[in-house]
């Protein structure tokens, strides 16, 4: 199995840390007092998304993690798994467990393209695109002619997410939302 | 292709100006500039410093110390040198395998007097500011108690102390700090204090968290120096590191009479980082190793 020595560490490298696939975010070489050198490393755990900080004796190695990011189209869920299809023309499908979906679960839209992270060919994480157009399926009636006034109300979107929207938004409107912040951006242009 | 320098031309101009400041500082104090070999037949034995070999010739020098001491033994006055030094495997925000060292030796100075001069040089480069002092033991004691580290087979007591020292340094408030009273096993080429042989006459200077200088009241006892080299060799053998022949020319020079002196090595590029408020050596040197 390939591995990376501390002197090969740089941001973006994917390694196994305590059995978990991680991406290196930052690597700092420290060697005070002409003593033993250490690497202070920040990792992102690709399964949990959490940031781990570790001090590693320089010269140690970490096993490379077989991690791949793929753009895949969301198809459907069967109650246990969420099914995605490769966009490379192979029509190959993969089933992601709930643990891989995490936050992405409330941003799913059929035929939307998502980034699926594979570890040893199994999906471990799903990321939605930064911006998505989604339909309002539930909200209080709009207040027309009052677009200048501030104030917001909750609106439930077709994907399940609830976002704060301006008062003039109506059920059936299609909204552009920022999936990173969960914020309303605008009304999407109608086709 | 990455052909362009990583630092700005303004940073290069600041480098030229700082080189002139340093040379002016020593000229005013009557310290002579010297140039010794970038290649030496021998190299350091310290286990934590790795040299780059030049096949058939020796090693790129990790510091000009050995040859400068041979000059002192030959009767040279107080001397300084500004030039490139090399250390294998050291690369990062604050490290590059090749860097510029300012190293100087002062005849008749003890480590305290040399610390005063280091502080004066730094003030000349960066402007005046107070300098505090803290002992090695106090730095180690500042480290968080629960130090976690990934190391196959764990850390030796010495390595653990190195790590605690590193973590302790990070807790020092910004400013200029001399670290003093290194334990004798960290003496390297420093003498031990006559009345406190467990303590080495060694100091380092840390400015805003960046280590920039390492100085010694130099060991002039060739027998003790030889014993330390041999201890280093044994440690290298035990760790499976390359062994380097003891520098017999240095030992012969010390034996013939190295005058009482103190010496210090200062990382010139880091001094420039501090002057410019740079976060990385890339901002102060044109061609760091990845684009060299």
Alpha carbon of A58: minimum distance to chain B alpha carbons (Å): 8
Which of helix, strand or coil describes residue B264? Answer: strand
Are A38 and B163 within 8 A, CB to CB? yes
Q: What are phi and psi of B28, to 5 degrees?
A: -65, -25
Question: Would you state the pLDDT for residue B1?
Answer: 81
Task: Please identify every stretch of chain A with a pLDDT value under 70, giving residue numbers as ranges.
Answer: 1, 142-149, 190-191
Give the pLDDT confidence score for residue A34 in this predicted structure.
Answer: 84
Q: Return the CA Rg of chain B.
A: 19
Instruction: Return the H-helix or E-strand segment holding B275.
Output: helix B268-276
ipTM score assigned to the predicted complex: 0.84
Nearest residue of B to residue A6 by CA position? Answer: B89
**Long-range pairs, B54-63, Cβ under 8 A, ≥24:** B59/B244, B60/B85, B60/B86, B61/B36, B61/B37, B61/B85, B61/B86, B62/B86, B62/B87, B63/B101, B63/B103, B63/B265
Across the interface, which of B48, B152, B158 has its CB nearest the CB of A34? B48
Contact criterion met (CB < 8 Å) for A31 and B165? no
Name the minimum distance, in Å, from the CA of A75 to any CA of chain B.
42
Residue among B49, B150, B166 minimizing CB distance to A30: B166
The residue behind tokens 């059920």 is A171
Nearest CA distance, A19 vs chain B (angstrom):
13
Comparing CA positions, the residue from B121, B52, B164, B54 lying closest to residue B267 is B121
Residue B155 has, within 13 A of its CA and on its CB side, a CA count of: 22
Q: What was the pLDDT predicted at B216?
A: 97
**For residue B127, what are the contacts with CB-CB under 8 A and spacing of at least 6?**
none
Inter-chain touch B188–A58, beta carbons under 8 Å: no
Across the interface, do B89 and A28 touch by the CB < 8 Å criterion?
no
Contact A28 B92 (CB under 8 A): yes
Pair of tokens at residue A108: 């799913």
- pLDDT at B189 (0 to 100): 93
Spatial separation of the C-alpha atoms in residues B105 and B84, rounded to whole Å: 17
Residues of B in contact with A29 (CB under 8 A): 90-95
Q: What is the pLDDT of residues A112-147, one digit of tens each?
A: 999 999 999 999 999 999 999 999 999 988 666 555
Torsion angle (degrees, nearest 10) of CA B185, B187, B189, B191: -110
Closest partner residue to A55 among B48, B89, B149, by Cβ?
B149
> If chain B, 292 residues long, is cut into consecutive pieces of 10 residues, what is the mean pLDDT of each piece?
93 98 98 98 92 96 97 98 95 94 98 98 98 97 86 88 93 97 93 94 96 97 95 91 92 97 98 97 96 93
Q: What is the pLDDT of residue A147?
A: 58
- Enter the DSSP assignment of B239: H
Q: What does the DSSP assignment read for B166-230?
A: HHHHTTSPSSEEEEE-EEGGG-TTBPEETTEEEEESEEEEEETTEEEEEEEEB---HHHHHHHHH
What is the spatial distance between Cα B66 and Cα B61, in angstroms, rounded to a whole number? 9
In chain A, DSSP assigns E strands to: 3-5, 14-17, 20-30, 38-45, 51-57, 61-63, 67-77, 81-86, 93-97, 113-119, 122-127, 131-139, 152-157, 162-166, 174-178, 183-187
Q: Return the residue in B63, B88, B149, B211 with the most chain A beta carbons within 10 A, the one to mutate for interface testing.
A: B149
The answer to whether B100 and B272 are in contact (CB under 8 A) is no
Give the rounded percent of residues in chain A with a pLDDT score beyond 70.
94
Nearest CA in chain B to A38: B163
Q: What is the pLDDT of residue B147?
A: 75
Contacts of B211 in chain A (CB under 8 A): 32-33
Residue among A29, A31, A57 minimizing CB distance to B149: A57
- pLDDT value, residue A37: 93
Give the per-residue pLDDT at A163.
Answer: 95
Q: Do B46 and A34 touch (CB under 8 A)?
A: yes
Residue in chain A nearest B180 by alpha carbon: A33
Count how many pairs of residues, chain A against chain B, have C-beta atoms within 8 Å. Answer: 81
**In the sheet that A51-57 helps form, which strands lie side by side, from edge to edge?**
A14-17, A20-30, A38-45, A51-57
Cα distance from A43 to chain B (closest Cα, Å)?
Answer: 14
């Amino acid at each position: 199995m390939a591995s990376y020595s501390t002197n090969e560490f740089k941001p973006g490298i994917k390694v196994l840390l305590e059995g978990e696939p991680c991406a290196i975010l930052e690597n700092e070489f420290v060697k005070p007092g002409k003593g033993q050198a250490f690497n202070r490393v920040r990792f992102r755990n690709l399964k949990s998304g959490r940031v781990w900080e570790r001090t590693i004796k320089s010269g140690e190695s970490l096993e490379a993690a077989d991690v791949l990011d793929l753009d895949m189209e969301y198809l459907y869920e069967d109650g246990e798994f969420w099914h995605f299809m490769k966009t490379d023309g192979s029509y190959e499908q993969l089933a992601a467990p709930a643990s891989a979906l995490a936050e992405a679960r409330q941003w799913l839209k059929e035929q939307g393209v998502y980034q699926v992270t594979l570890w040893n060919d199994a999906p471990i994480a799903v990321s939605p695109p930064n911006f998505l157009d989604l339909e309002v399926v539930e909200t209080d009636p709009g207040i027309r002619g009052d677009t200048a006034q501030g104030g917001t109300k909750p609106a439930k979107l077709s994907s399940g997410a609830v976002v704060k929207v301006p008062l003039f938004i109506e059920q059936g409107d299609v909204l552009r939302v920022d999936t990173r912040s969960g914020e309303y951006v605008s009304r999407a242009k109608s086709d | 292709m990455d052909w362009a320098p990583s630092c700005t031309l303004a940073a290069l101009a600041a480098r030229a100006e700082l080189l002139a400041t340093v040379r002016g500082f020593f000229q005013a104090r009557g310290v002579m500039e010297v140039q010794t070999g970038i290649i030496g037949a021998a190299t350091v034995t310290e286990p934590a410093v790795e040299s780059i070999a030049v096949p058939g010739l020796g090693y790129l020098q990790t510091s000009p110390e050995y040859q400068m001491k041979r000059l002192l033994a030959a009767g040279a006055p107080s001397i300084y040198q500004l030039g490139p030094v090399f250390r294998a495997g050291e690369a990062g925000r604050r490290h590059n395998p090749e860097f510029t060292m300012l190293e100087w030796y002062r005849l008749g100075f003890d480590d305290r007097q040399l610390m005063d001069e280091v502080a004066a040089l730094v003030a000349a480069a960066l402007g005046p500011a107070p300098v505090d002092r803290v002992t090695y033991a106090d730095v180690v004691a500042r480290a968080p108690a629960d130090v976690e580290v990934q190391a196959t087979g764990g850390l030796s007591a010495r390595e653990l102390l190195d790590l605690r020292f590193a973590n302790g340094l990070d807790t020092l408030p910004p400013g200029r700090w001399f670290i003093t009273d290194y334990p004798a096993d960290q003496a390297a080429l420093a003498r031990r204090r006559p009345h406190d042989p467990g303590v080495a006459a060694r100091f380092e200077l840390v400015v805003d968290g960046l280590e920039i200088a390492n100085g010694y009241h130099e060991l002039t006892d060739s027998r003790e120096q030889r014993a330390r080299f041999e201890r280093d060799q044994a440690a290298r053998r035990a760790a499976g590191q390359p062994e380097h022949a003891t520098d017999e020319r240095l030992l012969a020079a010390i034996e013939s009479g190295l005058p009482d002196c103190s010496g210090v090595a200062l990382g010139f590029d880091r001094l420039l980082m501090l002057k410019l408020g740079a976060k990385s050596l890339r901002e102060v040197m044109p061609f760091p190793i990845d684009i060299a």
